[in-house]
Amino acid sequence: MRRLSLLLATPLLLAGCFAGGGDEAAAAPGDARLRVALTFPPTRGMSPHGDDAVRLSQLGVIEGLTRLDENGAARPALATEWRRTDDRTWLFTLREARFHDGTAVTAAAVSDALRRANAATPRLRVLTGLTLTATAAGPDTVAVSTDIADPLLPQRMSSPALGVLAPSAYTGGQPNPVRTATGPFVLTEVRGAQGVTAERFDGYWGEAARAAGLDVEFVSDGTTRANALRTGAVDVVDTIPIAQTAVLDRAALHEVPTTRTVNLLLNTAKGTFADPAARAAARAAVRPRPIVDGVYESRADAAQGLFGPALPWAARQRVTPERRAPGTVTGRPVVLATYTNRPELPEIATVVQRQLEDAGFAVRQEVREYSRLEADALAGTFDAVILSRSTALDTGDPVSYLASDFTCEGSYNIAQLCDPAVDRVVAEAGATGDSARRQAAIMRAEAAVLATDAAVPLLHERVVQGVAPGVTGVLPDARERTLVGAGTHRR
């Protein structure tokens, strides 16, 4: 990031940071390499067994058995069809495809990849609350079973964390996606937290990629990303800070409503907010509207709950939570943490700090880059964390998010919440297969979480992507799983 920031003064040099291995002067129209800037660097060396899987999915590198359409329904990917044989088992029929290392996608290889995902440490969010087994039921048929009934297993199989890699990916300590996935782009190099390189995969089962390859830099500083787009140094930017939109050509900004909500998460296990009355006081003190109008310049929606406009059924079925009365908090200390990768969040922290101090709390901020914040946040080091989080994780269904973030065994439970009532209603929602009944159960679970004041919803984000003139085929996605695909290219 520092290197790119220094080079901003010289646009020509900055463009060189994204130069790939191909000769663009000789490339045919539509075949030029794409230069991409992503916000978040890898946290686990681009292993799919974690959040890095999303980066692999955004770059068209990794695929699962299914994908999600815009309505959250499962559609074919590596599997062409599937059927349920009993309440715990589904059969998936595989298409004819090849891994990036040239080997065939077989039922044995897919089953092995899924078994390894089930055994991953820490446990994958998409598998929170269940155990998965996979076996080859034939050369091109995989039987996937769970220890409890799972009506959303086809949607679950769309998770980037369950992306299928070749057997050669599993020879080291963690899965290696370099030349082992199946997407339209083959990952060829990972340069630590700096960037990655990918090339067009000519053996792809679907439409061949239009771009010859991808040269990707991880740029956590939002101003640097915006300036790189403005100076022509990049073709695609995953997120543009709201504060930078005014200095960019409006035609280069693609605004996409997302399932992402910004919450103030309060540590329910220790410190000031272990007291429910103190949490209630914080909830009463925080007002989202100044954040939406000021920090986001009205490019967001004030939160009414955990789930926003990207899930239109949520507003129709919202259940009013039973709230506790605020307590007296004069002088009680609060360490409020957030991260810099999303530049709006430190600004939000400043507004929230002022609102909490007006209510009587004594607030100190802790602001870091996300990779340096995550471990402490998960360990409950802070009293409060401001977090931007997708509410339709993994399965595209909110139950995964609720289970991961707000149950006793949740793998991303920054609020340290462990409430039997919450666990019960989340489990009930997860066990409900009928769509309408499931939505109603999800909203009861939302009300149970909000009743604890472990989370104070602030706003629902709209992601602003940056796309250079002449670039077409960028993939908008409310779930932020896709960005560059086979049809993305520079004319």
Local confidence band at 28 (pLDDT 50, 70, 90 cut-offs): very low
Cα separation, 324 vs 326, in Å, equals 6
Q: What is the pLDDT of residues 258-287, one digit of tens each?
A: 899 999 999 999 999 999 999 999 999 999
Local confidence band at 5 (pLDDT 50, 70, 90 cut-offs): very low
Q: Is the pLDDT of residue 243 over 90?
A: no
User: Is the previous residue joined to 122 through a cis bond, with omega within 30 degrees of 0?
Assistant: yes
Separation of first and last alpha carbons in the chain = 28
Q: What is the pLDDT of residues 399-429, one digit of tens each?
A: 889 999 999 999 899 999 999 999 999 999 9
Rg (CA), the chain: 22
pLDDT at res. 471: 96
Question: In the chain, which residues fall in CATH 3.10.105.10?
Answer: 259-461
Question: In the chain, which residues fall in CATH 3.40.190.10?
Answer: 2-61+183-235+468-490
Q: What is the pLDDT of residues 154-192, one digit of tens each?
A: 999 999 999 999 999 999 888 999 999 999 999 999 999
Least Cα distance to 268 among 384, 97, 440, 133 occurs for: 384
Q: Is the pLDDT of residue 76 over 50?
A: yes
Q: What is the pLDDT of residues 442-477, one digit of tens each?
A: 999 999 999 999 999 999 998 899 999 999 999 988
User: Average pLDDT for residues 54-76, to the nearest whole number?
Assistant: 92
User: Average pLDDT for residues 139-153, to the nearest whole number?
Assistant: 93
pTM here?
0.74
Cα separation, 135 vs 78, in Å, equals 16
Best CATH choice for the domain 66-167 from the list 3.90.76.10, 3.10.129.10, 3.30.70.3040, 3.50.50.60 = 3.90.76.10
User: Average pLDDT for residues 132-153, to the nearest whole number?
Assistant: 94
Averaged pLDDT of the chain: 91
For the chain, percent of residues with pLDDT exceeding 70? 93
What fold does the segment set 259-461 form as a domain? Dipeptide-binding Protein; domain 3 (3.10.105)
Best CATH choice for the domain 2-61+183-235+468-490 from the list 3.40.190.10, 3.40.50.720, 3.40.50.410, 3.40.50.2300 = 3.40.190.10
Least Cα distance to 491 among 12, 30, 21 occurs for: 30
Question: In the chain, which residues fall in CATH 3.90.76.10?
Answer: 66-167
